[in-house]
Structure 1
Amino acid sequence: MRSTDHTPVRVGVFGLLGSGNLGNDGSLEAVLGHLRAEHPEAVVDALCGGPEAVTARYGIPATRLHWYRGEYRTASRAGAVAAKGLGKVVDAFRTAAWVRRHDVVIVPGMGVLEATLPLRPWGFPYALFLLCASGRLTGTRVALVGVGAAPIGNRATRALVRWSARLATYRSYRDTLSRDAMRATGVDTAHDEVYPDLAFALPVPQADTPPDSPGTVCVGVMAFHGSDDDRARADEIHRRYLEGTTRFVRTLVEEKRPVRLLTGDECDTPVVAAILDAVDSPLVTAAEAASLADLVKETAAADAVVATRYHNLICALKAGTPTLALSYAAKSDALMAQMGLGTYCHPAREVDADRLLAQFRELEGRSAELRRTLAERNLAVAQRLEHQFTALTAALFPAAGRIRSHAHAHLQQETP
């Protein structure tokens, strides 16, 4: 650490934050909550996808992640291709300059080491590599905290992800599958720990009283087109997902069940519109959630939840509501197993409305039992996340960790 006892620690947060993905922003919110509670002296800013949104919402200065504003648009004209290429060079210098101004940079959660959704190697994987390499060159500690990882087919993406992980000062993962995936790429994970997703650390907001049965069913939808390896049949995968989900919603409406559609990213809005248009019933409404806290409130007030997005699942499980996953990646299966609902997963690539309905009815039949299970698992999750933040302090804020350890030892000596 370059800072002294008289100089506030300079902390940067990095990622696709403020870009419309509620899960990413929830991970940021959890880390900011920890920093403000345990390290109030720290000076925090961000290098992120949506700097204006991050500054407005969280009150910290923020810088745009990419110099070229069209980074995530397809470049077809020569001018756009040239601008995007120039942006890669400019970003190398911009990232290094930003990193060197900090003592610590934290990448809060997110699936930054995976490609379970369509992803180009020279987009975010390249940006993450620049971050971690800059940290090594400038002596800034870079921490990948509670991140997701998965096997990656694309060779260039896999190489960038592997080197990013190797160059980071600290790594922890949100599930064992993630750690195993990085070990398989050749990363030494002997000292890397696994903790629950950072979003579980967010406070649970006060929820409305659940309605009398039969009550609302929350259905979390997603603009799902398969993984990075499924580009050739992305349209077919999306069509099957949308048709199966729509049929499931229509059956619930025919049974006079209110359905509340949830999203987790701005790109999911067309899916909501398509279902509303296809079912055309006042029993189907769309939630306007602006944060994970909003999603927790929505799911807490429901009788049951069926959801696709990973952080929709986390919100429902954290709320203690019986949940069925439309699983699009192994991370969803692992999360459901961790929370005691491993049998309630259905493949998002092949939604079979009849089988989904059968699973849903079984889920509701065990509602009271599953709510007790979730209450127990949430207590265990909270304890593990306390360990995560303690480990993070020890790794990145050694002076604060020593002060806390001495205080704890002194207190034990004084205790009769």
Structure 2
Amino acid sequence: MTAARVGVFGLLGSGNLGNDGSLEAVLGYLRAEHPEAVVDALCGGPEVVAARYGIPATRLHWYRGEYRTASRAGAIAGKGLGKLVDAVRTAAWVRRHDVVIVPGMGVLEATLPLRPWGFPYSLFLLCASGRLLRTRVALVGVGADAISDRPTRALVRGAARLAAYRSYRDALSRDAMRAMGVDTSRDEVYPDLAFALPTPAASAPSGPPGPPGPVCVGVMDFHGGNDDRARAEEIHRRYLDGTTRFVRALVEDGRPVRLLTGDACDAAVVAAILDAVDSPLVTAAEAASLADLMKETTAADAVVATRYHNLVCALKAGTPTLALSYAAKSSALMESMGLGAYCHPAREVDADRLLEQFRSLEGRSAELRRTLAERNLAANRQLGDQFTALTAALFPAADHVHTLREAS
């Protein structure tokens, strides 16, 4: 059999740990189930992807200033030319593959500020090229949400319609695509791909119970969503002030606090909290992967986090978790893991109310750990079904071989 040529696509290697964790999960699946496949990437950070995951990688955009604001004529012209060049480059890359996988990520949503001619345009080019060149494009375990901006909605809807395979990380995402006019009758819902990653072992207690342990607080450079641009700075100030006051209250109770991030841009929020609280009890983790985040959350008594994949890591580690929810996907995730009561709005952080919810969470710690253990087992089984379905959809010849082997 000829080895399948598989491409992976997305804003990978660009500093977002959640995106890279989804890639890692899909690479694990390919290496376990399709070790003969030849894999490469078209992505945001090719140097990082090549070094970290050992696969060839090509830069997603021809114009290197794609995600910088263009104010000068030269930069505007460069961006415009880049759109034309990227159409040719994307089609040429797609043509070299039998299958292209978009691994997880919120590629069909605009819950954070997003320009239509950025990634939505790139995703549309990918799916249109796949349809034109008969390369199967799969959107695997992706996130989606209703989009009000018309150009963005048109590009996202068009990309989804042109994909050969779609699955979602929650029912909310599938419902959103259905509402935007995509036929989802054959689309399935599975847990987030990051739940397929290995979980670090929890360290066993070394003696009698001691004082309360550390609390992980996952922060985010949060300015609201795509529809909040006019209020972005106000939303950010309110989020930062409420989160800082919550951290200060924990320190006043003598609790060690470990600050977590999920993207390179979150470092400014960490620095602001460290400066405002100024206590040796507050430290910042230097996590380079979801595995690092899971180790941090495994060692904590409880977690309070904003970024979606900070929540995923904490829940997968089995640690009682409270979400500073900035989008419906966070609330849906918490509900699916049995912690739906422990959500707090990121746009309106009330430190006193948050502290009250946190104390309730810790009071039910043992019960919630048992719930999370059960939900994690179910998630593992469901992701096994996801990868079986993916093989059947994208690698029918390989699936036939596997069936014959099992029968013999």
- Normalising by the smaller structure, the TM-score range is over 0.9
How far apart in 1 are the matches of 2:182 and 2:250?
A: 47
Indicate if the aligned counterparts of 2:200 and 2:298 stay in contact, CA closer than 8 A: no
Residue 230 of structure 1 is matched in structure 2 by 228
Residue 391 of structure 1 is matched in structure 2 by 389
How far apart in 1 are the matches of 2:86 and 2:119?
A: 12
Residue 325 of structure 1 is matched in structure 2 by 323
Indicate if the aligned counterparts of 2:325 and 2:344 stay in contact, CA closer than 8 A: yes
**Deviation of residue 153 (structure 1)?**
1.1
Residue 45 of structure 2 is matched in structure 1 by 50
* Structure 1 counterpart of 2:131, from 131, 136, 149: 136
| Counterpart secondary structure, 2:283 | strand
Indicate if the aligned counterparts of 1:111 and 1:147 stay in contact, CA closer than 8 A: yes
In the alignment, residue 69 of structure 1 is paired with which amino acid?
A: R
**Deviation of residue 192 (structure 1)?**
0.1
How far apart in 1 are the matches of 2:34 and 2:210?
A: 44
Residue 174 of structure 1 is matched in structure 2 by 169
In the alignment, residue 293 of structure 1 is paired with which amino acid?
A: A
Residue 36 of structure 1 is matched in structure 2 by 31
TM-score, normalised to structure 1's length?
0.96
How many residues align? The count is 405
**Deviation of residue 134 (structure 1)?**
0.3
Indicate if the aligned counterparts of 1:209 and 1:301 stay in contact, CA closer than 8 A: no
Q: State the Cα deviation string for residues 307-330 of structure 1 (Å, max 9, x = none).
A: 000000000000000000000000
How far apart in 2 are the matches of 1:82 and 1:190?
A: 42
Classify 1:107/1:91 alpha carbon distance in 2 versus 1 (closer, same or farther; 3 Å): same
In the alignment, residue 40 of structure 1 is paired with which amino acid?
A: P
Residue 271 of structure 1 is matched in structure 2 by 269
Residue 246 of structure 1 is matched in structure 2 by 244
**Deviation of residue 402 (structure 1)?**
1.1
What aligned pairs does 1:187-226 form with structure 2 within 5 A after superposition?
187-209=182-204, 212-226=210-224
Q: Which runs of 5+ in 1 are unaligned?
A: 411-416
| Counterpart secondary structure, 1:142 | strand
| Counterpart secondary structure, 1:137 | helix
| Counterpart secondary structure, 2:216 | strand
Residue 155 of structure 1 is matched in structure 2 by 150
| Counterpart secondary structure, 1:106 | strand
How far apart in 2 are the matches of 1:126 and 1:300?
A: 38
**Deviation of residue 403 (structure 1)?**
1.4
| Counterpart secondary structure, 1:143 | strand
**Deviation of residue 209 (structure 1)?**
4.6
What aligned pairs does 1:291-370 form with structure 2 within 5 A after superposition?
291-370=289-368
Residue 84 of structure 1 is matched in structure 2 by 79
Q: State the Cα deviation string for residues 359-378 of structure 1 (Å, max 9, x = none).
A: 00000000000000000000
| Counterpart secondary structure, 1:343 | coil
| Counterpart secondary structure, 1:281 | coil
How far apart in 2 are the matches of 1:237 and 1:212?
A: 39
| Counterpart secondary structure, 2:286 | coil
Moved runs in structure 1, 4+ residues, more than 3 A? 206-213
| Counterpart secondary structure, 1:116 | coil
Root mean square deviation, CA, Å: 0.9
In the alignment, residue 354 of structure 2 is paired with which amino acid?
A: L
How far apart in 2 are the matches of 1:401 and 1:50?
A: 32
How far apart in 1 are the matches of 2:246 and 2:403?
A: 54
| Counterpart secondary structure, 1:288 | coil
* Structure 1 counterpart of 2:13, from 18, 26, 29: 18
Residue 67 of structure 1 is matched in structure 2 by 62
Q: State the Cα deviation string for residues 369-391 of structure 1 (Å, max 9, x = none).
A: 00000000000000000000000
**Deviation of residue 301 (structure 1)?**
0.4
In the alignment, residue 371 of structure 2 is paired with which amino acid?
A: T
Q: State the Cα deviation string for residues 162-204 of structure 1 (Å, max 9, x = none).
A: 0000000000000000000000011000000000000000001
| Counterpart secondary structure, 1:296 | helix
Classify 1:301/1:209 alpha carbon distance in 2 versus 1 (closer, same or farther; 3 Å): farther
In the alignment, residue 25 of structure 2 is paired with which amino acid?
A: A
How far apart in 2 are the matches of 1:185 and 1:216?
A: 43
**Deviation of residue 213 (structure 1)?**
3.7
Classify 1:199/1:212 alpha carbon distance in 2 versus 1 (closer, same or farther; 3 Å): farther
How far apart in 2 are the matches of 1:234 and 1:168?
A: 33
Residue 413 of structure 1 is matched in structure 2 by none
Indicate if the aligned counterparts of 2:144 and 2:173 stay in contact, CA closer than 8 A: yes
Residue 414 of structure 1 is matched in structure 2 by none
Indicate if the aligned counterparts of 1:95 and 1:130 stay in contact, CA closer than 8 A: yes
Indicate if the aligned counterparts of 1:248 and 1:357 stay in contact, CA closer than 8 A: yes
Indicate if the aligned counterparts of 2:322 and 2:361 stay in contact, CA closer than 8 A: yes
Indicate if the aligned counterparts of 2:223 and 2:236 stay in contact, CA closer than 8 A: yes
**Deviation of residue 405 (structure 1)?**
1.9
How far apart in 1 are the matches of 2:404 and 2:4?
A: 20
How far apart in 2 are the matches of 1:366 and 1:351?
A: 22
